[in-house]
Structure 1
Amino acid sequence: MRVFIMVAGAFTGAHVWQETAERLVAAGSAVHSVALTGIDPDRPATPSDVGLETHIEDVIAAIDAASGREIVLVGHDYGIHPVLGAADRRAERIARVVYLDCGMPQNGVPALAAVPDQALRAQLAGRAEAGEREGVLAPPAGDEWERWGSTDGVGEAALERLTALAAPQPLGTLFQPLRLTGAVAAVPVSGVLCARNGATIDQVQRLVDFGDPALAALTEPQVTFFELPTGHWPMLSCPAALAEVLLRAADGAGHRLRPAGGETTAPAHLRPFPMDVPELPRDRRGNVDLYVPEGEGPRPAVVFVHGGPVPAGARPSPREWPTLVGYARLAAAEGVVGVTLDHGLHDIADYDRAAADIAAGVERVRADSRVDADRVALWFFSGSGLLTTDWLIKPPAWLRCLAASYPVLAPLPAWGMAGSRFHPARAVDQAGALPVVLLRAGREAPEIAATVDAFVTAAADCAARLELVDVPNGHHGFETLDAPEETVPALRRAMRSVVTHLAR
């Protein structure tokens, strides 16, 4: 008989698995929902006595009790840390490890690194550095669970029960590093991504396509992926669908990722720009590349800001991607200087650094003698949409237009940025007369589309100068994903609108 050993995330206990477990049992499997010491009420302990190693031992005990059975370990959120620790020490007993909407913990790294709320993570890191390692982290109140992940799909009653049964998390479980020998690397793996929490298979494939060697292991044949259209707690929002996915994962089914460079066609970010543009050479200056039209200057400029996060080792770097270069050359064809720019958005925690890189790059562009320093536009893409915030707040006089293509315009739930300053919808009422051109993808991912809708509503409420350019059948990254007849008219309209604002 197959047995699923399930380990819950921070603050939560074995009770969260009840409905999923019932469905797995009905399908003929055995289930053991691990009661974690110091969190589950039937395993009380003094917090100072509880660390990650304690929970690893809890999982090992469950593995040892499942003698002679095919074992599938399931770790949700924090639960993946004790799951991996136990699997590393009992690798020969484990048929598969399932990562349920969680990160990829590494040897020597504590679970603190996976705390999604960036402000809380920094606060806890300070406590760890000060030697405060024996306390607890209070569980979220009813309206605070979103700081730990999207509650999409979780009903009011389920959320109330989750809150009522939540327990303080011993700090030792977050501060104690995970220790792995490497044995767990041989165990087959499945990842279950929760799309409403901001993670999709397509996004992971794009990260792999960037060529980051750290992600190459995700393309191994023994690694599969599933996606659920729900928030961070699928055992509460869709237990039947989760049970079905877990059974399929145990059978070795699921989506397999393509290795970087393994496609017969280029990955999306390296496919050709959909328009014919002049083959102007690039002029590299620091972190910017300029594409300067022939003729006398100085001329207005459009600075194109790539999205992200993009792994630091991605090659070619974003400013060389065909889409960004195509936009820059299209701008040059309209008589203005087109600029592509690299910045340091390599991780969700890097928005401050990326903002500084962009500001420095823009000043480098404005200082160029071929550029009219008083006539500059900024054009943002995808995840860099949050970086429009600084430019919406009291925009400088030289900023004549701000544009964005399929942008993310509010932090997604899993990004842990609820208190962040990077929130364009809250800043648009300070944009004054700044024109904003927004290219909107009609088939955008729902979680991103919701941020765009909120921005559009906020812009209407404050009578901002917002121009919407719709691509009704367009997807996120539509330039290289969708038919040119769908995208080219929108690109031409948006570019000419931006250039018109620069000329005023």
Structure 2
Amino acid sequence: MTAFVLVGGAFTGGWVWDGVARRLRAAGATAHPVTFDPDPGAGLGAHVGELLRLLDRIEEPRVVLVGHDYGIHPVLAAADRRPHRVARVVYVAAGLPGHGDPALLLVRDAEVRDRLAHDPAPLPPPRGEEWARWGALDGVGARDLDRLDRLAAPQPARTLTEPLRLGGAVHRLPASGVMCTADGPGIETVEMVVHAGPPQFRERVGPDFTLFELPTGHWPMLSAPAELADVLLRAAAGGGRRLVVPEDQPSYETADFLLDPPVAPRERHGRVDLHLPAGEEPRPTVVLVHGGPVDPGRRPTPRDTPFLLGYGRLAADAGLVGATLDHRLHALTDYPRAAADLAEAVERVRAHPRTDPDRVALWFFSAGGLLAADWLAAPPPWLRCLALSYPVLAPPPGWDAVDARFRPVAALFGTGRLPLVLTRAGREHAPFAATVRAFLAAAGEHGTDVEVVDVPEGRHGFETLDPTDASRAAVTRAMAAVRHHLTAS
């Protein structure tokens, strides 16, 4: 017999699982909906302790731990400490937090994040439509919304600010994710993040990770209890779409750049490297801005990878100073810090004697594209060109934690006559491609001139994944366009 331990999100208790628990029991399983002790001073550790005591009392040989929203944090910590008692972990409308991550990182409401940064008082629960600030209400009827209002309790602040502590055992357990597609990303986006995104996500999916989709909002235990109960039973049996990363998956750290430009002299100045062209006179500069989030422990760091070394050398071979930097975009909430790193790097570059301070281009890659918003909204006179390669130009579903400032689509109103060069991958991830389409549509409305360089068969990161003649031609053309805008009188 299987026992399901059901842990809800912030402000809720075991009552939120009533419809799911009833259906699980009808199917022959045991269900343990969890309501934590209402201690206003409790932290994440206290909730983990309550779960551990529950696990130690359960007699069924197979225990499936289910975490919704905030609930995945105590679930992961408890599973990490009792891996021999847990048959599977199930994420329901939840992120993939890692060691050291507080639940606050995944809170969507910026006002709540700001408040918790300095106020240790418990958070009062939302009321009515305010619940939508914590997740989409699609499918939640008036009766259930009224029930949320009546039964919700304040959330102790430390449960959201205390970091998650993991030893690694939980990532070796079978796991499943339930994606609520009216609230955030679906299976395709999760696969994209795990395959092409930060390496830490690959470490978290474990040896047996499966995925399910439900076409509903953030509260499937209320909006689709029968469907969620069915998914939980299938997940416990090992069902769902398998998420497997091939062993031969090319890595950002080791894959070769598709061109072989000559090695140029390189100078390191703090976070910035300068690849210098021949000669001694000041030259125009292109600042190359990597994507992310990037694991802070990743080695080599982005500027030492074949990817950015290749672009830096290619710029120098074109007679430009190629500037690369390591900015600190380690999580979706780090865009303000990464933007400050970029601004500091630009000023350092413009002050260097080998650069022409009045001829600078910025070239953004992947999710680094969101950092372009500041420069699009108010481009300085020395910014002669802005380039974008397979960029993310608006936060895709599930990226609610990104600060509202970083919306390049919305920032286009200030672009004026700034030349833009956009390299588009034909086989782009669908959520990213949608942001590019929205950007180009907005550019048309604003009369912004965008030169589009297409790579019809190219994937996201085609410079290392797809070293074809078409890919080489696209990189060469994009660099030539940037050079043209930097050197034109």
TM-score range, shorter chain: 0.7 to 0.9
Cα distance change of structure 1 residues 332 and 201 upon mapping to structure 2, 3 Å threshold? same
Segment drifting more, 484-493 vs 397-406: 484-493
Cα distance change of structure 1 residues 377 and 177 upon mapping to structure 2, 3 Å threshold? closer
Q: What are the ranges of 5 or more consecutive residues in structure 1 without an aligned counterpart?
A: 39-44
Q: Which residue of 1 aligns with 2:126?
A: 139
Query: Of residues 392, 415, 421 in structure 2, which corresponds to 1:431?
Result: 415
1:194-343 maps to which residues of 2 (within 5 A)?
194=179, 197=184, 200-206=190-196, 209=199, 218=204, 221=207, 224-226=209-211, 228=213, 236=223, 240=227, 243-244=230-231, 247-248=234-235, 250-251=237-238, 254-257=242-245, 263=247, 266-295=250-279, 297-343=281-327
Q: Identity, % of aligned pairs?
A: 43
Q: CA deviation at 1:377?
A: 0.6
Separation (CA, whole Å) in 2 of partners of 1:470 and 1:279? 27
Segment drifting more, 80-89 vs 300-309: 80-89
Question: Could you list the per-position Cα deviations for residues 30-78 of structure 1 after superposition, in whole angstroms to 9, with x for gaps in the alignment?
Answer: 252615258xxxxxx7x74877577557756865775334211111211
Contact 1:118/1:349, CA 8 A, preserved across alignment: no
> Cα RMSD between the aligned structures?
3.9
Separation (CA, whole Å) in 1 of partners of 2:228 and 2:5? 18
1:34 and 2:33 aligned: yes
Q: Which residue of 1 aligns with 2:156?
A: 171
1:73 and 2:79 aligned: no
Separation (CA, whole Å) in 2 of partners of 1:21 and 1:122? 35
Cα distance change of structure 1 residues 391 and 52 upon mapping to structure 2, 3 Å threshold? closer
Counterpart of 2:234, as a letter, is L
Cα distance change of structure 1 residues 280 and 144 upon mapping to structure 2, 3 Å threshold? farther
Cα distance change of structure 1 residues 446 and 237 upon mapping to structure 2, 3 Å threshold? farther
Cα distance change of structure 1 residues 402 and 29 upon mapping to structure 2, 3 Å threshold? farther
Separation (CA, whole Å) in 2 of partners of 1:275 and 1:117? 44
Cα distance change of structure 1 residues 431 and 54 upon mapping to structure 2, 3 Å threshold? same
TM-score (norm 2): 0.81
Separation (CA, whole Å) in 1 of partners of 2:34 and 2:210? 27
Secondary structure of the residue aligned to 2:356 is: strand
Counterpart of 1:103, as a letter, is L
Q: Which residue of 2 aligns with 1:41?
A: none
Secondary structure of the residue aligned to 2:398 is: helix
Counterpart of 2:282, as a letter, is P
Segment drifting more, 422-431 vs 326-335: 326-335
Separation (CA, whole Å) in 1 of partners of 2:252 and 2:203? 21
Counterpart of 2:91, as a letter, is Y
Counterpart of 1:10, as a letter, is A
Separation (CA, whole Å) in 2 of partners of 1:445 and 1:422? 20
TM-score (norm 1): 0.79
Segment drifting more, 457-466 vs 187-196: 187-196
Segment drifting more, 471-480 vs 98-107: 98-107
Q: CA deviation at 1:426?
A: 1.9
Q: CA deviation at 1:435?
A: 1.0
Separation (CA, whole Å) in 2 of partners of 1:463 and 1:329? 34
Separation (CA, whole Å) in 2 of partners of 1:440 and 1:296? 35
Cα distance change of structure 1 residues 162 and 416 upon mapping to structure 2, 3 Å threshold? farther
1:483-502 maps to which residues of 2 (within 5 A)?
484-502=468-486
Contact 2:271/2:345, CA 8 A, preserved across alignment: yes
Separation (CA, whole Å) in 1 of partners of 2:142 and 2:367? 33
1:446 and 2:433 aligned: no
Question: Could you list the per-position Cα deviations for residues 290-311 of structure 1 after superposition, in whole angstroms to 9, with x for gaps in the alignment?
Answer: 2233245322121111111111
Aligned residues: 476
Q: What are the ranges of 5 or more consecutive residues in structure 2 without an aligned counterpart?
A: none
Separation (CA, whole Å) in 2 of partners of 1:159 and 1:406? 40
1:46-65 maps to which residues of 2 (within 5 A)?
48=40, 63=55
Counterpart of 2:367, as a letter, is G
1:473 and 2:457 aligned: yes
Separation (CA, whole Å) in 1 of partners of 2:248 and 2:168? 34
Segment drifting more, 478-487 vs 311-320: 478-487
Contact 1:72/1:250, CA 8 A, preserved across alignment: no
Cα distance change of structure 1 residues 249 and 493 upon mapping to structure 2, 3 Å threshold? farther
Contact 2:284/2:359, CA 8 A, preserved across alignment: yes
